[in-house]
Structure 1
Amino acid sequence: MRNVKRLWGIIGCLTVGILLLSALLITRSSPKPDQTQPQRTQPPSQVKEDERIVAKIGNRLITFRELQTALISQHGSELLNVMLDREALRVEGAEAGIQIEKAEIERELKRMQQGYESETQFYQSMKDQLGMSRDELKEDVHYKLLLERIATQNIPITDKQVDDYIKIHPDEFKSVIELSIAQIIVSSREQANKVIGELNKGADFAILARDRSIDDVTANHGGDLGWLEEGDPFIAEEIMNAAKMLKVGEYSKPITVQQGFAIVKLKDRRTKSDPNRSFIRDNVKRELALQKAPPLKDIVKKLREKWKAEIKDPVLQ
């Protein structure tokens, strides 16, 4: 459940990141109030804003207008629908008296940080990979929680149902073992044996990973994969199984992986448990209610119909 939820959240963040970029560009290009006057009263810099050069390749100049047109063509419909969805949720939440507290948003963000070494690393990763700031992530989580609350507001879940679920699924609530793993990936067994030989002579694992590993994602970070839960489905089973057998500080023999051969090092191991029983129960109650609720996309569709959302521009319909 943890990994599936995390993947769902990251995919959602990626989509919203693209849409927010489109929104930023469209907003920056929208006319200001004083730009509605006849052109003779406008400074030349305002008149030609759309023709501002934003990029160049060879003799080809790309203007802000071209960029705006391309963004609207590719993402305009998606962006407009997200805006309508969020507005429908906002007015429905206001009518129903539903409020999402800051503490709820922070708690959800903490859940999304599972698998990251620290909060700082999580937010930096979201910034580097998705271009999303902390405030943009908070806004996305706010609307996600608001939708869930609207969908489940009339679905009662008893304490007994929560207790029964926890008893039936004990593995979801036990302490979690996390491993800090690094890897070196090479293309042949001969190269793998050379790496093992240098490690046996005292070579630094991170430096060898940087110089020898063919895995572009981790090489520049010394082969570091970060903190991972045992059984993480996004890590090759061979690498995870090898790491689980190691003591802290040890490295494995060459193991066969899809890219060639891997040498795995266990940097650290820790047991992670969630002492907040109240949070666990609230989360279970939310999940059980969502299972009984209609599909969330159907909820949004009905809200748009209720609040008479309509796309007027035929290009964006």
Structure 2
Amino acid sequence: MKKYEVLKAVVILQAVCMVVLTVVVVIKVFPGNDRFQDRRPQTNAGSGEDLDQGKTDQPLIVDPSKQTDHERVIAKIGQESITLADLEKELYKQHGAAVLRTIMVHKVVELEAEASELSISAEEQDRELAKLIEGYESEDHFYEVMQNQLGMTKEQVLEDLRYRLLLEKIVIRSISISDDEVSRYIADHPEEFEDRVQLHLQWILTDTVKEANSVLQLLTEGEDFALLAKTYSIDSFTADAGGDLGLIDEDDPFYNREMLNTASRLQIAEMAGPIQVDGGYAVIQLIERQITTSMTGRRLHEAVHKQMALERADSLTEIEDELLVKYDAIKTE
């Protein structure tokens, strides 16, 4: 269940991020924006004459310092220019409907939460945030990844988290789950609530044992592991990242069992190999070991109750649609 919750949270963040990135741009092109004011030639007050009258034969010279941001050229292809307006138009065409729905849904969820006197406490937010951060080196590293890979600031991550928690409360408030049902689930699925060990590994994958031993020799002579991974590893997915495999569950079934067993016996910064794996021979290094303690008692009961209720409830999208109807949320254009 814990893995499911973390995966779900990450997927939601990724999905929301796609539209969050375009919100600012789309807002600029909504009707009524001052960037779309009439741009016909101005006239002298009371004269009815165009200010540019008599100058039509002269070339138009545009002072870049007086260009509006909307007219700014952001790219060129030969003699062709692409303006910010062109970009906004394309973004609106591709993502406008999704962004508008996101804004409307956030509004109606806030209204429903206020009407139902639902709120998210700092403790609830911190607990959920801790689940998201599991598997990252630190909280700062988590936010750095969200910024670099998804374009989300810390404030956006926390706001999206608060929104999701509010929506979940709205979804499950009418779902009845007995204490006995929760207790039976915990008893029937003990493996989901055990302590978990994760290994942060780097590896260098080679074609032959001889190449792997050569890499090991260079490492014993003090060569940098990440640099050797970039130079010699045949794993194109990790070579550029210095062979970083990230955090792996100690019993992850998708990784070579001998490699994980070997890694579990290593000390931090210790290396081992060659280890035969699919695709070649690996040299590994343990960067860190993380131990996650499982929930117990009341917190475990509440977490399982919530997850069971979410699994029985209508989808979050259906609830959002119902709230849009309830609060008369409609597109005017």
Q: Quick check: TM above 0.5?
A: yes
Aligned residue number for residue 20 of structure 2: 20
TM-score computed with the length of structure 2 as normaliser: 0.80
Aligned residue number for residue 251 of structure 1: 272
Q: Give distance in 2, aligned partners of 1:262 and 1:56.
A: 46
Q: How far did 1:254 drift?
A: 3.8
Cα offsets for 1:32-59 (capped at 9, x unmatched): 6698588649xx9777432111223443
Cα offsets for 1:124-143 (capped at 9, x unmatched): 01110001011101111112
Q: Does 1:132 align with 2:149?
A: no
CA contact (8 A) 2:197 2:292 kept: yes
Q: Does 1:196 align with 2:188?
A: no
Q: How far did 1:221 drift?
A: 4.4
CA contact (8 A) 1:193 1:254 kept: no
Q: Give distance in 2, aligned partners of 1:213 and 1:160.
A: 53
- Matching residue's letter, 2:273: S
Higher relative helix content? 1
The 1:288–1:253 alpha-carbon spacing in structure 2 relative to 1, beyond 3 Å, is: same
Aligned residue number for residue 149 of structure 1: 169
Q: Give distance in 1, aligned partners of 2:144 and 2:4.
A: 22
Deviates more, 1:247-256 or 1:286-295: 247-256
The 1:2–1:57 alpha-carbon spacing in structure 2 relative to 1, beyond 3 Å, is: farther
Aligned residue number for residue 89 of structure 2: 69
CA contact (8 A) 2:250 2:260 kept: no
Q: Give distance in 2, aligned partners of 1:90 and 1:58.
A: 49
- Aligned-residue sequence identity (percent) comes to 31
- SS of 1:266's equivalent in the other structure is strand
Q: Give distance in 1, aligned partners of 2:114 and 2:183.
A: 32
Q: How far did 1:9 drift?
A: 1.8
Aligned residue number for residue 180 of structure 1: 200
C-alpha RMSD of the superposition: 2.9
Q: Does 1:102 align with 2:102?
A: no
Aligned residue number for residue 113 of structure 2: 93
Q: Does 1:287 align with 2:307?
A: yes
Q: How far did 1:164 drift?
A: 2.2
Q: How far did 1:150 drift?
A: 0.6
Gap runs ≥5 in structure 2: 44-62
Q: How far did 1:256 drift?
A: 3.1
Q: How far did 1:277 drift?
A: 3.8
Among 80, 83, 88, which residue is 1:60 paired with? 80
Q: How far did 1:28 drift?
A: 4.8
CA contact (8 A) 1:252 1:265 kept: no
Q: How far did 1:245 drift?
A: 2.6
Cα offsets for 1:204-263 (capped at 9, x unmatched): 433322332244554354323333322346xx422x6412234212413242335x5432
- SS of 2:272's equivalent in the other structure is coil
Q: From the CA coordinates, give the structure whose radius of gyration is larger.
A: 2
Aligned residue number for residue 237 of structure 1: 255
Aligned residue number for residue 246 of structure 2: 226
- Matching residue's letter, 2:14: L
CA contact (8 A) 1:186 1:213 kept: yes
The 1:34–1:215 alpha-carbon spacing in structure 2 relative to 1, beyond 3 Å, is: closer
Among 269, 283, 290, which residue is 1:263 paired with? 283
TM-score computed with the length of structure 1 as normaliser: 0.84
Q: Give distance in 1, aligned partners of 2:308 and 2:295.
A: 21
Count of residue pairs brought into register by the alignment: 307
Q: Give distance in 1, aligned partners of 2:77 and 2:205.
A: 37
CA contact (8 A) 1:243 1:265 kept: no
Q: Give distance in 1, aligned partners of 2:272 and 2:297.
A: 37
Q: Does 1:11 align with 2:11?
A: yes
Deviates more, 1:112-121 or 1:125-134: 112-121
Q: Give distance in 2, aligned partners of 1:29 and 1:80.
A: 12
Q: Give distance in 1, aligned partners of 2:196 and 2:38.
A: 64
